[in-house]
């Protein structure tokens, strides 16, 4: 687990750097309004993704070690196309969507790629997962820069065209990589399998979708009350704050892959507690680093429109720390197929987000959105902590690395180098 976690962290850190570069380019090239448009479309894409992930997400990972690939992928691919085409039209009824055709294409391609890379995770092929997630970010940047500087495409939709070209290439390569090992004569459709996939998929995605609303519902409230430019400003602070989750998400991915492939609950709890320590302490360190950066640096990097970025980071930081820890616990419960608690904590968070956003965003704008989001993160995370420590003894050492664990981490990093 240690070596895989380090590999995953390295890949996530590289993705973070690439994403950071892309954010800097988009903010300086298209400004706060352009960044606001991109943020809303990406948020819509995420909503479509939650529907698609019923069959292409964690259900693929969970059953990859229990069923044949030929029994899983037909449902995943069919659902990717069906949900990718239909859900964007439904979203179009909720708010104005200028780039519907781009959203549809992105939705289908993203779901197809998700099915493939989640199969890699379920097969414990974390290396391939890391490669494709890095390429997804890196190639997107290359395509966008090529369209802008080689073909003089300067409109904001260039961002989406570059993303589409990147996804087309990765879907084609990853699909070939998987299908060349498949026995097409073994492809079959079974009511029992589709029921299993749907039952696990919709439960995990319901929780993930509700948690996403905790993360992104404020975008839509800000757009409604304050406009797209405010969305762009807020999104930069959110992106920087959430970048801190690199460690947490890396550990969560490896932990989930391990938990779904083990029957030893005690071993799963031990791994969860170790991941919890590393995630909490690393996140705290990164938060302090962002605090140390002067506000003028954010303006210098992102442009004059983004002077509030440090304030956003400051107001979000308690919630960011809470989610970094609860990400670990959430993946433990998902891996153990204990999904009810995930839905409960997400519903509580969403209800608070809706009520708080409706009251505070019109009154305090971006600062109000930050306060609502932070409290929502903390409340929903507290529910997971309460449930986890019902099944195991609480110990403050769960959040403090021992000398032995630090030594093991340093040795692992040295071997990796």
* Tokens 């069919």, residue located: 78
How far apart are alpha carbons 416 and 410 in whole angstroms?
Answer: 10
Q: What's the rounded Cα separation, in Å, for the pair 15 and 13? A: 5
Find the mean pLDDT for residues 45-67.
87
Work out the average pLDDT over 31-58: 88
403: pLDDT strictly greater than 70: no
Question: What is the pLDDT averaged over residues 214-228?
Answer: 85
Lowest mean pLDDT among 97-111, 370-384, 387-401: 387-401
| pLDDT confidence tier of residue 100, bands split at 50, 70 and 90 | very high
User: Is residue 103's pLDDT more than 90?
Assistant: yes
Q: Is the pLDDT of residue 409 over 70?
A: no
Q: How large is the average pLDDT for residues 242-256?
A: 75
Residue 5: the pLDDT is 53
> What range does the domain containing 141 cover?
2-416
| 181 vs 108, residue with greater confidence | 108
The answer to pTM > 0.75 is no
More confident residue, 1 or 254: 254
CA atoms within 13 A on the CB side of 415: 10
Segment 114-126 shows an average pLDDT of: 86
The count of structural domains within the chain is: 1
pLDDT of res. 412: 42
The pLDDT confidence band at residue 413, using thresholds 50, 70 and 90, is: very low
Per-residue confidence (pLDDT) for residue 372, from 0 to 100: 93
163 pLDDT more than 90? yes
Q: What is the pLDDT of residue 376?
A: 92
Q: If you average pLDDT over residues 396-401, what whole number do you get?
A: 68
Say if residues 364 and 371 touch (Cβ distance below 8 Å): yes
Residue 260, pLDDT > 80, answer no
| Least confident range of 170-179, 180-189, 293-302 | 180-189
The mean pLDDT value for 137-157 works out to: 93
The model's confidence at residue 109, banded by pLDDT at 50, 70 and 90, is: very high
User: What tens digit of pLDDT does each residue of 261-275 get?
Assistant: 777 778 888 888 888
The answer to whether residues 37 and 156 touch, using CB atoms and an 8 Å cutoff, is yes
pLDDT above 70: residue 404: no
CA dist 174 to 12, 45, 112, 132, 177, Å? 19, 21, 10, 8, 5
The reported pLDDT for the residue numbered 417 is 40
Q: What is the pLDDT of residue 4?
A: 54
262 vs 273: CA distance, rounded Å: 16
Over the stretch 323-362, which tens digit does the pLDDT of each residue have?
888 888 888 888 887 878 888 888 898 899 999 999 999 9
Residue 171's pLDDT is 97
């Amino acid at each position: 687990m240690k070596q895989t976690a380090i590999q995953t962290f390295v890949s996530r850190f590289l993705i973070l750097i690439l994403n950071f570069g892309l954010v800097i380019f988009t903010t300086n090239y298209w400004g706060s309004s352009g960044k606001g448009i991109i943020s809303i479309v990406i948020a819509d894409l995420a909503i479509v993704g939650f529907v698609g992930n019923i069959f292409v997400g964690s259900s693929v990972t969970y059953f990859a070690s229990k069923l044949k690939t030929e029994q899983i992928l037909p449902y995943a691919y069919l659902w990717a196309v069906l949900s990718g085409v239909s859900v964007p039209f439904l979203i179009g009824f909720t708010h104005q969507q200028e780039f519907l055709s781009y959203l549809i294409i992105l939705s289908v391609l993203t779901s197809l790629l998700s099915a493939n890379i989640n199969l890699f995770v379920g097969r414990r092929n974390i290396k391939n997962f890391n490669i494709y997630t890095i390429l997804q970010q890196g190639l997107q940047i290359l395509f966008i820069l090529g369209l802008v500087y080689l073909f003089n495409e300067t409109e904001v939709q260039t961002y989406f065209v570059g993303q589409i070209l990147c996804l087309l290439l990765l879907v084609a390569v990853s699909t070939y990589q998987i299908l060349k090992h498949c026995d097409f004569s073994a492809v079959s459709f079974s009511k029992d399998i589709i029921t299993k996939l749907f039952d696990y998929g919709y439960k995990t995605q319901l929780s993930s979708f509700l948690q996403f609303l905790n993360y992104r519902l404020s975008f839509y409230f800000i757009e409604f009350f304050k406009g797209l430019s405010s969305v762009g400003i807020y999104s930069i602070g959110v992106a920087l704050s959430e970048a801190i989750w690199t460690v947490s998400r890396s550990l969560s991915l490896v932990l989930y892959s391990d938990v779904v492939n083990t029957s030893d609950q005690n071993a799963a709890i031990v791994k969860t507690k170790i991941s919890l320590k590393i995630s909490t302490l690393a996140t705290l360190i990164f938060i302090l680093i962002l605090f140390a950066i002067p506000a003028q640096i954010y303006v210098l990097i992102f442009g004059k429109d983004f002077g509030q970025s440090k304030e956003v980071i400051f107001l979000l930081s308690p919630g960011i720390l809470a989610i970094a820890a609860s990400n670990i616990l959430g993946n433990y419960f998902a891996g153990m197929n204990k999904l009810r608690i995930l839905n409960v904590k997400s519903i509580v968070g969403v209800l608070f987000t809706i009520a708080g956003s409706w009251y505070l965003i019109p009154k305090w704008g971006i600062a109000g959105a930050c306060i609502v989001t932070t409290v929502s993160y903390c409340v929903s995370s507290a529910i997971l902590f309460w449930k986890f420590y019902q099944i195991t003894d609480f110990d403050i050492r769960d959040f403090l690395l021992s000398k032995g664990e630090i030594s093991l981490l340093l040795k692992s990093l040295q071997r990796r180098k």
